[in-house]
Amino acid sequence: MTRLFRNREIWLALAIIAVIVLVTWRFSRFSQPSNLLTILNDTSILMMLALGQMVVILTRSIDLSMASNLALTGMIVAMVNAAFPMIPIPFLIAGCIIVGGALGAFNGILVWKLDIPPIVVTLGTLTIFRGLVFVISGGAWVNAAQMSPDFIQLQRGSLIGLPILTWFAIVVAALFFVLMTRTPMGRSFYAIGVNPTASVYTGINVGRTKFLAFVISGAVSGLCGYLWISRYVIASVEVASGYELTIIAACVIGGVSIAGGIGTVAGALLGALFLGVVNNALPVIGVSPFWQMAISGAAILIAVVLNARGETRKGRIILKKAEVAA
């Protein structure tokens, strides 16, 4: 029992329930199933992005380019859809995942082969990808009228009572859960985050594993590019501008350690959900949207303080050379 309560996912879930209960106390309609489903649906994209970011952070890297990748892939798919409306949507989605994954692979190659620190690489590609959105679109918007009906309607449909967008999040989360807990690749993400040197000796290729992490975060960003554009039915240069830090915030609140090696799928999902619930609750209880930023900032700081107590520092590094050799 005490062990259960030391689990941070439980605390986070309790915090989310507490927020819902507090808001319901003022506005009973807030906790109606339909409203809770809406919140879940609103948060789906952030959840998927947080999972992608988590894999990268686990390997002691960071991907600042996710939001720009999303905007670029989203713009490409919107323009393709506007130009060739006959292309079936599943092909477009597959295309998004490939394009996003390729952009992620670009980050990954620079980290893997040239050994440039991930924060520098993705700082560069953050601005490059965002600039490319402008270049390919000429600064113009793609709006609802130019998109095909299928493109917009797909995620508005529902399946067994849940919106399609939520199903996307569920499928992605399930894939991540299997990847992280049931496959050697998932274990190697944790391993190189906990101790890169030891990982080398167990035969893990650290550089390649980081590369794969970036491909995964890129592919997720690409998928979310389509979902974002078709949800808000506008593709512009400004799409998801500054969102990269919200994604990282969701991870941090979810207990993913920025020093690598610590984090769970459930944690990242709950971290994203926490931000989603808070952001949905504020307008309901009559707090102006201008408070939103300050409150999420405070939530991040509190989460970090709580995180820091739970984490044990990593052990000694004896053979630093092995890392270099990797």
Partner 1 sequence: MTDTTSTVRRLPDRLDNPFRSALLSWESLLVLVAIGIFVANSIASPYFLNAWSLSDMTFNFTEKALIALAMALVIITGEIDLSVASIIALASTLMGLVLNAFGAPTPVLVLVGILTGLACGAFNGFLVTVLKLPSIVVTIGTMSLFRGIAFIILGDQSFGGYPRDFAWFGQGYVFWVISFELVLFLVAAVIFYVLLHRTNFGRRVFAIGNNATAAQFSGVRVDRIKFVLFCLTGLMSGIAAVLLTARLGSTRPSIAQGFELDVITMVVLGGVSILGGAGSIIGVVLAALIIGLVTFGLGLLNVPGIVMSIFTGTLLIVVIALPILWRMWKEKRA
Question: In the complex with partner 1, which residue's Cβ is closer, 6 or 115?
Answer: 115
Q: Please choose, from the candidates 232, 254, 223, 283, the residue with its C-alpha nearest in 3D space to the C-alpha of residue 35.
A: 283
Distance, in Å, from the CA atom of 79 to the CA atom of 225, rounded to the nearest integer, reads 12
248 scored as a contact of partner 1 (CB under 8 A): yes
119 scored as a contact of partner 1 (CB under 8 A): yes
Per CB under 8 A, contacts with partner 1 among 25-84 are 60-62, 64
Question: In the stretch 192-231, what mask flags binding to partner 1 with x, by CB under 8 A?
Answer: ----x-----------------------------------
Compute φ and ψ for 126, nearest 5 degrees.
Answer: -55, -50
283 scored as a contact of partner 1 (CB under 8 A): no
Place of tokens 């079936």: 88
Which two three-digit tokens encode residue 46? Answer: 């952030």
| Beta strand residue intervals within the chain, DSSP E | 142-143, 158-159, 162-163, 234-235
Among 78, 110, 194, 262, binds partner 1 (CB under 8 A): 110
Per CB under 8 A, contacts with partner 1 among 133-172 are 133-135, 139
Shortest reach from residue 181's CB to partner 1, in Å:
24
Shortest reach from residue 59's CB to partner 1, in Å:
10
Shortest reach from residue 99's CB to partner 1, in Å:
18
Residues 62 and 122 sit within 8 Å (Cβ to Cβ): yes
- Residue 257: C-alpha distances to residues 95, 226, 261 (Å): 32, 29, 7
324 scored as a contact of partner 1 (CB under 8 A): yes
Among 17, 18, 22, 131, binds partner 1 (CB under 8 A): 131
DSSP letter (8 states) at residue 234: E
Shortest reach from residue 284's CB to partner 1, in Å:
18
Distance, in Å, from the CA atom of 132 to the CA atom of 146, rounded to the nearest integer, reads 21
Shortest reach from residue 302's CB to partner 1, in Å:
9
310 scored as a contact of partner 1 (CB under 8 A): no
Residues 272 and 43 sit within 8 Å (Cβ to Cβ): yes
Size of the site for partner 1 (CB under 8 A): 55
Contacts of residue 51, defined as CB under 8 A and 6 or more positions apart, other chains included, come to 172, 173, 176, 220, 265, 268, 269
Residues that bind partner 1 (CB under 8 A): 60-62, 64, 110, 114-121, 123-128, 130-135, 139, 196, 237, 242, 245, 248-249, 252, 258-260, 288, 290-298, 300-301, 304-305, 308, 317, 320, 323-324
